[in-house]
Structure 1
Amino acid sequence: MHVSIEQADRAIAAARRKAVELGTQMCIAVVDSGGVLKAFERMDDAWVGSIDIAMKKAKTAVFFGMPTGQIGKLSQPGGPLYGIEHSNDGLITFPGGLPIVDADGVMIGAIGVSGSAVENDHAVAQAGVETLGVWDLPEHPWRT
């Protein structure tokens, strides 16, 4: 099962609203469960370099079924995933990418956000996921 275009559009709209609230410009990518780009938005004045980062954050989150920030903690020198960012044509292992899981607990895609401090990237991605109504599942270990 894949994230629908309607879900992707809603996630991007909610993420954009959060970015505006934070006073920042973002690139926002939504990928389906196979890591293929479903929807994308580059807000006015968002960094061009953030386009690739947002897409790779979304891809990283869906490939491994966890937030990119969590992968980052595991990929530090000496960690069990050290060097993982060099796989899969490049991954991003800092916050801003979150899986999108449906009400049945099935991962249907992911969102990736880039363009600000990683704390803002994560908050904007979280806003995108929360609007789909799946964030409240208690088994999500990445809830903040």
Structure 2
Amino acid sequence: MQTKPVLGLEEIDKIVAAARAEAQKHGWAVVISVVDDGGHPLALVRLDGASPASAYIATEKARTSALGRRESKAYEDMINGGRTAFLSAPLAGTLEGAVPVLVDGHVVGAVGVSGVKSEQDAQVAKAGAHSIGA
């Protein structure tokens, strides 16, 4: 039987707090979504002024990152690089702005962010993800 780390409430709170602090430091109105390693939502925070659509987008970005075990930007780069067949993949968040959360070499979840420029979304997501893991 194999064992692996999983996200608990303490870690989820720490991820959200770090991502929120990064967004607020820059005055960015974003949505922060945390999912488990299967892409199932664990937390969603919509900062004041963030678009309602960003809640959906952030969660889908996070799900894509968790299931793909990589940053969501990798999929955006593939598609922009000409691999348009990947648009038929069953992932809705193939845009930059989500990163996996790694603990002891295991993907335990992902953080997705939406609301500002893609690279800024990714910056906020990384602040959250790196608050507990690699």
Distance in 2 between the 1:27 and 1:85 partners? Answer: 24
Q: CA deviation at 1:86?
A: 4.0
How many residue pairs end up in the alignment?
Answer: 130
The answer on whether the counterparts of 1:68 and 1:98 sit within 8 Å (CA) in structure 2 is yes
Name 2:86's counterpart in structure 1: 84
User: Aligned match of 2:35 in 10, 31, 36?
Assistant: 31
**Residue ranges of structure 2 left out of the alignment (5+ in a row):** none
Cα shift at 1:45 = 1.2
Query: One-letter code of the match for 1:98?
Result: V
Q: Please identify which structure carries the higher helix content.
A: 2
Q: Are residues 1:129 and 2:133 paired?
A: no
In structure 1, runs of 5+ residues without a counterpart are 136-144
- Provide Cα deviations, 1:102-130, integer angstroms capped at 9, x if missing partner: 0x201100000001011110110010011
1:58 and 1:110 in contact (8 A); partners too: yes
Contact 1:22–1:120 (CA under 8 A) maintained in structure 2: no
TM-score by length of 2: 0.90
Cα deviation for residue 2 of structure 1 reads: 2.8
Q: Offset at 1:85?
A: 4.2
Structure 1 runs of 4+ with >6 Å offset: none
- Secondary structure of 1:95's aligned partner: coil
- Superposition RMSD in Å: 1.4
